[in-house]
Amino acid sequence: MTATTASVRFGADGAATVQSYVRLTASTHVHCCTYEDAAPILSIRDGATDITITNPGRGEVTEEDVQFGRLLADAVNRYAAELERLAVKNRTATVAGDDEPAGRAA
């Protein structure tokens, strides 16, 4: 299994870029904390990677925040749907006795 990784890279201009690959496994923790008077906080933790997602305001939630939350939810829903599609395809290939590994180019 390939582990979750995080790295920081510096460009020629000195600007830093953080790159994380979170490989979701049984040890990955995904949690959403909600509060009565503040924006929610979504956290994803696995290995050396800890991702926190929230809005830029301190308690104030705007329509733009809601729009970004919906974009995030749509992307996650597409991700889950694609996983489901591929899992069904892999199960079908396994049941049919197809010995060609899924995802391999012809």
Q: Among residues of the chain, what percentage have pLDDT more than 70?
A: 90
Average pLDDT value over all residues in the chain: 87
- The closest of 13, 8, 50 to 28, measured between CA atoms, is 50
- Model confidence band, residue 106 (pLDDT cutoffs 50, 70, 90): very low
pTM, entire model: 0.73
99 pLDDT above the threshold of 60? no
Assess whether 54 and 74 both reside in one domain: no
**Number of domains into which the chain is organized:** 2
Domain that holds residue 85: 62-98
Q: How many degrees, rounded to 5, is the angle at CA 14 between CA 12 and CA 21?
A: 90
Flag whether 32 is in a domain: yes
